[in-house]
Amino acid sequence: MTPTAMLPRTRVKICGLTSPEDALQAVDCGADGIGLVFYGRSARAVTAAQAHKISQAMPVFVSRVGLFVNPTEGEVRAVLQQVHLDCLQFHGEESAEFCASFAVPYMKAIRVRPELDVLKEISKYSTSSAILLDSYDKHFAGGTGSAFDWRIARHCVEEAGVKIVLAGGLSAANVAEAIRLVAPYAVDVSSGVESEPGLKSRERMSSFFNEVYSV
């Protein structure tokens, strides 16, 4: 008897967590990874001390991802000295050489906009563990709560040859549709599961995961 083929499971990262309590709730709901924001202009920013407490509370097999936006080398290394991170997420204009210089797996975020050749941009980061595609806003580096044209993401999944993480405007209302259309390796959500910036809603996270699992 031939085994029934199973579709790959879509992984989920909850980003912008600011407390151990919210992080543990995210894990209880099913999060594969948590995102800690080290960018002072974000409403979801945490200090290294806060991040250390959150990281320490995480159970085995949950990835801790640190998000940076155009940091200096010293800023990244200072965080790494205090916080256990499994992956670095770079959300600015960092070069591939810079991203790969910390001996920690990294994910490069690319903010999709009409004039950008996304596949060409992805090709610059051949050392990345994954590419995160997010919405572009000239005023914000991420967490905009708005979506971009998912057909671009689907094209990248088909042509880029790397793991694609879909972000930007995801919520329980649209994540199932996004997964069906894009078939990403993972989805990344922040504002779509919040009661207010930096505070996650257990109810909204639960609803989000229910939709992910429905696909």
- 29 as an active site residue: the answer is no
Nearest partner of 58 among 105, 14, 9, judged by Cα: 14
Angstrom distance (rounded) from CA 80 to CA 83: 5
Helix (H, G, I), strand (E, B) or coil at 77: helix
Helix (H, G, I), strand (E, B) or coil at 126: coil
Which residues have C-beta within 8 Å of that of residue 207, sequence separation ≥ 6?
172
Angstrom distance (rounded) from CA 177 to CA 184: 12
Angstrom distance (rounded) from CA 180 to CA 13: 18
Helix (H, G, I), strand (E, B) or coil at 35: strand
Which among 29, 87, 134, 188 is annotated as catalytic? 134
Which among 15, 87, 99, 156 is annotated as catalytic? 15
Greatest pairwise CA separation for the chain in angstroms = 57
Going from the C-alpha of 12 to that of each of 27, 104, 152, 185, the distances in angstroms are: 10, 20, 20, 9
- 134 as an active site residue: the answer is yes
Positions annotated as catalytic residues are 15, 134
